[in-house]
Amino acid sequence: MLYMQRKGFDVEMVSSDGDVRDELIQSQKSPHHVVEMTRKISPIKDLKALFQMISVVRKVRPNIIHTHTPKAGLIGMMAAFFCRVPIRIHTLAGWRLETETGLKRKLLYSVEWLTFKMAHEVWPNSYSLLNMLKENSFARKTKYEVIGNGGSNGIDVDFFSSKSADKSIIQEIKSTIDYDPTKTYLVFVGRINKDKGVEELIRVFHRLQNPDLVLILVGRFEYSLDPISKESMEIIEANDNVRAVGFSPNVREYLSFADLLVHPSHREGFPNVPLQAGSMGVPIICSEIGGNVDIVTHEQTGLLFNVKDEDDLFEKINYALNNRDTMTVMANKQLENITNNFSRDFVQAELYKHYERLLKQKKI
C-alpha cells in the first residue's frame, strides 16, 4: 500500500476485523473498511458480507479492486462486478480444491469459477499455479498473468535478515523456550492444521528420537478447519522437545536462531515462509508441491521431499543434520536467488507496471 501511494495511488483496504487492524492502518497509512468474511462457506454470512462490500465500493468508487484469498476474492469480485468497477483483479495464492474431493471439491470449483468469471484478470502467484489453471481451463487463458517471477508482494530482504533481527526479542524468546546453544532447532511456521503437513512433521520428529533436537511450532492451532488429530496433539504435549509457541508476529526472530526450516505443506500458491527463511540464510526442507518448487530447487537451494511421505521427510531431515556444510552452501545460493528474483522492490515495481497497463487500456 505504501509503495502504491508513493506512485500516486489513493489506496483503501478492506478485510475482516482483527487484533492487528489498528497496527495495519498505522503502518500502511491507508483507510480501512471492515467487512466480516468467514473462511468457511456460510451462505447467510457470505450474503451479508456481499452487501457490506457493495456498500464500501459504492462509497469509495475505486478504479481498481484487487482481491486476495478465496473468500475475499468471491465477495470482492462480485461486489466489483455489480458496481461496474472498471478494473477487477484477483490474485490466486493457492488452490484449496487441489486437496479436496467429492462434493466439497465441486463446490469450491464453482466458487473459483465464479470469482474468475467476474474478474478481468487473474494473477496466480506462481508458475506452478499458472500451469494448473491452464490445465483446468477455468477461464480464458488470456486472463492469467504471473507477476515477475512469482509472489504476491515480494519479500523485504532488508527486514528479513539476521542483522535486522531484534536482539531483545530474540533473548526474550530464548528465555521462554529454554534455549540451549548445544541443541539443534527445527522450526515450522504456519497454521497448525493437517493441510500444512504438521502431522507428518510431528510424527517424523517423534521417530527421530534425538534428545539434542528441538522442534518449534510457530503458529495458531486451528480447531474448526482441518485440525490435527488427537494423537498428534498428544505427541506435542508429551514430548518436552516440541515447543508449540502459538501465533507470533516475531517470525524473523525465531528464524534468526533456526538451524533448519521445515515446510511440509500439502498445497501452496507461492509461500512466504520459505522466502523469509531463505532471505535469512536458513537451510530449507519443503514438500515437492507447486509454489515450493518455484522457490526451492532440490539439492541446489534446499531439499524437497515427496508430499505426505513421512519416510522421505525422515530421510531428508537426517541428511540435513548429517551434512551441515552442504546445507549451508544451499542456503547461501537460496539467499542469492531470493535477493535477485523475489525482493519486494522488484515485485512491487512489476505490480505497478501492470496497474498502469490496465489503466491505459481502460483510458483512465
Q: Give the strand order in the sheet containing 121-124.
A: 64-68, 87-92, 121-124
Would the pLDDT of 142 be above 80? Answer: no
Would the pLDDT of 100 be above 70? Answer: no
Would the pLDDT of 356 be above 70? Answer: yes
Q: How confident is the model at residue 43 (pLDDT cuts 50, 70, 90)?
A: confident
Q: Taking residues 286-310, what's their average pLDDT?
A: 95
| Furthest CA-CA distance within the chain | 65
Delimit the domains of the chain by residue range: 2-154+344-361, 167-341
The count of C-alpha atoms lying within 13 angstroms of the C-alpha of 182, restricted to the half-sphere facing its C-beta, is: 3
Task: Give CA–CA dist 58/5, Å, rounded.
Answer: 21
Confidence (pLDDT) at 219? 95
Nearby residues of 353 by Cβ (< 8 Å), 6 or more positions away: none
Q: How confident is the model at residue 175 (pLDDT cuts 50, 70, 90)?
A: very high
**In the chain, which residue ranges form alpha helices assigned H by DSSP?**
2-6, 21-28, 43-60, 70-82, 102-118, 127-136, 167-176, 198-208, 230-238, 251-255, 272-279, 310-322, 324-341, 344-361
Confidence (pLDDT) at 357? 96
112 close to 91: Cβ distance less than 8 angstroms: no
Nearby residues of 334 by Cβ (< 8 Å), 6 or more positions away: 278, 281, 284, 295, 296, 301, 302
Task: Give CA–CA dist 175/213, Å, rounded.
Answer: 17
Confidence (pLDDT) at 98? 65
Kindly report the length of the chain. Answer: 364
Task: Give CA–CA dist 92/70, Å, rounded.
Answer: 8
Task: Give CA–CA dist 354/348, Å, rounded.
Answer: 10
CATH of domain 2-154+344-361: 3.40.50.2000
CA 9 to chain centre: 25
Q: Taking residues 69-82, what's their average pLDDT?
A: 95
- The model's pLDDT over 11-25, given as tens digits with 9 standing for 90+, comes to 999 999 988 899 899
Q: How confident is the model at residue 320 (pLDDT cuts 50, 70, 90)?
A: very high
Instruction: Establish whether domains 2-154+344-361 and 167-341 are of one fold.
Output: yes
- The model's pLDDT over 48-74, given as tens digits with 9 standing for 90+, comes to 999 999 999 999 999 999 999 889 999
Confidence (pLDDT) at 137? 65
Identify residue 127 by its one-letter amino acid code.
Answer: Y
CATH of domain 167-341: 3.40.50.2000
Q: Taking residues 247-271, what's their average pLDDT?
A: 94
User: What is the phi-psi region of residue 70: left when phi exceeds 0, alpha when psi lies from -120 to 50, beta otherwise?
Assistant: alpha
Q: Which residue has the higher pLDDT, 112 or 172?
A: 172
